[in-house]
Amino acid sequence: MIIDIHCHYTLTQRPAQVSERFSFEPAETDGRPAYDSCIAPRNAHRLSWRAFGWYLGFKQSPALDQQIEAFYERHLHAGGPVDRIVLLAFDAYHDDAGRQVSFPTERGDVGSDIYTSNSLVRELCRRHPERFLFGASVHPYREGAVRCVEEVFAAGACLLKWIPLHQNIDIADPRTLAVMRRCAELGLPLLLHYSEEFTLSTNHREYRSATALLDVLRRLRRAGCMPPTILAHVATPVSPFGERDSHNAVVSALLDEFADAPLYADISALTAWSKTGFLRRMARRQELHGKLLFGTDFPIPLALPRLRRDLGVDYRRIAGEHSWIQQAALIYRHLGFNEIVFHRAAELLPHVEYFAPAPATW
């Protein structure tokens, strides 16, 4: 089974509509309707987001979310080598006191550029159990965060997603460590983004380096409570000229110190325009492939024109696929990524069949 472990599902203004909700995601907050998914006012005005909407042909209108949902439908449900897709929730920014702050409106404000509730993602998995897996997101500074993680795990979560530099997560904070220890007990993998970020604001540069994470994992491993951990994008920088310290440290850790530990990296977004050099490099590193997992970071566009020479006679066939997710799988295979990269997630993730319908009994 081939699983895309890194796929986002975000809408611009989806009011809380899911009837069965997690206890920590009420439909109303202070008497006002909550959202199940939204984009912050600041992010809606960023040039990169406007360019992304233009590239996809979205028109600014009250029906924008319907356009986005139709786009998701085309790409997420298309046939091809990818069997299942982990949809990722994305919890809101919390300050150091554990309070959720307002969505940012101006450059320089701290807060969440995007938000997608666990309740919405679980509902999508229930509607399409043959396709989607539940990627949860619970901020460790939330009140009762460990209990919240237990709640999403009991509801079928197959991993927990954090972007510390955006969400304000100190990996060494006692609250974070408590969640990580509980994830280890549950066998719930953490999908973590370190190094640079280009689609969301860097609210906290001090949480960009993977060095602090590796230090924490060393301590947890010695104590026998290290959770399965996946580094998104192999901790690659945004551009070929970006800071590579995190990437180099992660690659070294995968091959040496953590070679026999549950530390992995996903290859999502390496098909993006600025990362194709890292894509080619990772394809050649066969000794790494046993520690890599397939992912796409959908809906980040693919740099197919930049890969025309790499794909050769298969370029037209791959470009003719309707789904970016399926295209990505074909690109990675063509470039020589070992089959274990595509199938590792089915062995690593819990609850792969959680939402599957029970077999008929006679």
Domain containing residue 167: CATH number: 3.20.20.140
If DSSP states are collapsed to H, E and C, what string results for 266-300? ECCCCCCCCCHHHHHHHHHCHHHHHHEECCCCECC
Per-residue pLDDT, 358:
64
Give the number of other Cβ atoms within 10 Å of residue 360's Cβ. 5
Residue position matching structure tokens 């069965």: 20
Rounded to whole angstroms, the Cα distance separating 61 from 67 reads 9
Per-residue pLDDT, 241:
84
Region for residue 111 given its phi and psi (left: phi exceeds 0; alpha: psi -120 to 50; beta: otherwise): left
Q: Is residue 318 part of a domain?
A: yes
Q: Is residue 95 part of a domain?
A: yes
Q: How many whole angstroms from its chain centre is CA 248?
A: 21
Q: Is residue 94 part of a domain?
A: yes
Per-residue pLDDT, 321:
94
CB 18 within 8 A of CB 308: no
The 10s digit of each residue's pLDDT in 88-104 is 999 999 999 999 998 99
**DSSP-based three-state secondary structure for 196:** coil
Encode burial over 106-128: b for 16+ CB neighbours within 10 A, e otherwise.
Answer: eeeeebbbbbbbbbbbbbbbeee
Which amino acid would we find at residue 312?
A: G
Q: Is residue 246 part of a domain?
A: yes
Rounded to whole angstroms, the Cα distance separating 161 from 150 reads 14
Per-residue pLDDT, 199:
83
Rounded to whole angstroms, the Cα distance separating 322 from 4 reads 16
CB 226 within 8 A of CB 192: no
Instruction: Report the DSSP beta bridge partners of residue 162.
Output: 192
Which amino acid would we find at residue 314?
A: D
Per-residue pLDDT, 52:
74
**DSSP-based three-state secondary structure for 110:** coil
Cis, peptide link before residue 15, omega less than 30° from 0:
no
Residue ranges making up the domain that contains 298 = 3-348
Q: Is residue 358 part of a domain?
A: no
Q: What are phi and psi of 124, to 5 degrees?
A: -65, -40
One digit per residue, the tens of pLDDT, for the chain of length 362 reads: 999 999 999 999 999 988 899 999 999 887 788 999 999 988 877 777 777 777 777 877 788 999 999 999 999 999 999 999 999 999 999 999 999 998 998 888 999 999 999 999 999 999 999 999 999 999 999 999 999 999 999 999 999 999 999 999 999 999 999 999 999 999 999 999 999 888 888 999 999 999 999 999 999 999 999 999 999 999 999 988 888 999 999 999 999 999 999 999 999 999 999 999 999 999 999 999 999 999 999 999 999 999 999 999 999 999 999 999 999 999 999 999 999 999 999 999 999 999 987 665 66
CB 95 within 8 A of CB 204: no
Q: What are phi and psi of 95, to 5 degrees?
A: -80, 180
Q: At what angle do helices 324-335 and 339-348 cross, to 10 degrees?
A: 120
Q: Is residue 279 part of a domain?
A: yes
Which amino acid would we find at residue 87?
A: L
Alpha-helix residue ranges (DSSP H) falling in 100-210: 118-127, 145-154, 164-167, 174-186
Per-residue pLDDT, 362:
61
Q: Is residue 360 part of a domain?
A: no
Q: Is residue 109 part of a domain?
A: yes
Q: Could you tell me the two tokens for 290?
A: 């046993």
Per-residue pLDDT, 141:
98
- Any idea of the CA torsion for 161, 163, 169, 174, to the nearest 10 degrees? 40
Q: Could you tell me the two tokens for 339?
A: 């089959």
Maximum Cα interatomic distance, the chain, rounded to a whole number of Å: 62
Q: How many domains does the chain contain in total?
A: 1
